[in-house]
Amino acid sequence: MHTSGPNIKPNAQITAFYLFFVIHTLQIGAGLMGVPQIIYKEAKNSAWISVLIAGVFLHVTIIVMLYILRQYENGDLFMIQKDIFGKYISLLLGSIYLAYIFTVTSSVILNYTEVVQVFIFPNMPTFQITFFLLFLALYAILGGFRVVVGVAYIFFLSTIWMVIALYEPIKLINLDLYFPILQASPQELMAGAYKTTFSVLGLEILFFVYPFITNKEKAPLAAHLAVLLTTILTFLVTFVSIGYFSGPQLEEQIWPTLAMFKIIQLSILERFDFLAVALWMFVVLPNIVLFTWLVSYGAKRLYHVKQKHALFVIVILLYIFVNLFEYRMSVNTLTDITAQVGFYTVFVYPFLLAILVTVKKWIAKGRNSS
């Protein structure tokens, strides 16, 4: 296609190696704390199969996204939409996309804030916790895109403890709770896969960081490996939760992943779940940093404003927005809406876009040949 992409300065470019960390750390966040319960409500003891189905859909979606991106020289989603839909419709679609990312960021902040308040600091007001998280995000993003990527890389290395912490719950698994296998109907399995959505949101960043990658031929491997690790971690947490809790217990647990950590006792620490909640900030912070960067970068691309100016406005708006939510039900509602919109944004829209890009390519070929 003839349209050129955004002009990326050499000091902002990254190799495909770092794409792995960007996608994976964005997918593994606040959603992982509660995803076993959400999937179990739909697919019961076959919930682990739903995770694998969702994983397959993620890999297929990556193939479609990369197909779209390869049709353009160095394009991102904003440029592709402009080429397909024209100036004004693409501006509207881009604005809706940014509003969606803004809502996802708010949902991540609120979910983690609530966990901190329930487990560690019940009397700490939301405005203090959210100020701390957004200040850290602002500080990182002001360092530039490479610092943002560096946050994803460093905090990925800081979250290995999560897999090790599952060792104790695994020893207490009751294998009878997995049988009978395939008890759930195909509809229930698909419903479970659909409910995995909120936990794996973040793949859409591929549409925006692709122009920053120098060795684009290696981007598919990095993206697929990132999604594979996300699927393995989500599967592991869900599978262990099913065997550790009885069905009714799991349905009542809002954050089963954190609840499993309660049984871990160290000689120097009686309540490991307190430490787990604190360490989970290393899991959640890259989400907030990357999503906030994406909204500010999107504002720069769409509205031709300075990214730094857009960033300050977005952080202030995020701070005001997240502090409007006071109750668990309203946070749940926001999370559900985000997951529903996210499903269509991540799993449906790229397929529609791929069809439109292909049709435009055929029309262009026809014109050239005639």
In whole angstroms, give the CA distance from residue 227 to residue 204. 12
CA distance to 103, 197, 325, per residue, from 337 (Å):
9, 11, 14
Alpha-carbon span 76 to 300, nearest angstrom: 13
What pLDDT digit, counting tens, does each position of 52-77 carry? 999 999 999 999 999 999 999 788 99
Q: What are phi and psi of 139, to 5 degrees?
A: -60, -40
Q: CA separation (Å) from 61 to 78, 200, 207?
A: 18, 12, 12
Q: What percent of the chain has pLDDT over 70?
A: 96
Rounded Cα distance, 152 and 290, in Å? 8
Rounded to two decimals, the pTM is: 0.93
Closest by CA to 48, choosing from 245, 176, 237, is: 237
pLDDT of residue 108: 93
CB 289 within 8 A of CB 140: yes
The structure tokens 């946050």 sit at: 151
Write out the two tokens for 63. Answer: 């193939």
Coil vs helix vs strand at 99: helix
Structural domains of the chain, with CATH: 23-354 (1.20.1740.10)
Average pLDDT score, the chain: 91
264 phi/psi in degrees, rounded to 5: -75, 125
pLDDT for 201 beyond 80: yes
What pLDDT is stored for residue 327 in this prediction? 64
> What pLDDT does 329 receive?
62
In degrees, to the nearest 5, what angle opens at C-alpha 337 toward C-alphas 333 and 341?
170
pLDDT value, residue 161: 78
Per-residue pLDDT of 297-332, as tens digits, reads: 999 999 999 999 999 999 999 999 999 876 666 888
What does the pLDDT look like over 226-284, one tens digit per residue?
A: 999 999 999 999 999 999 998 889 999 989 988 888 887 766 767 777 888 888 899 99
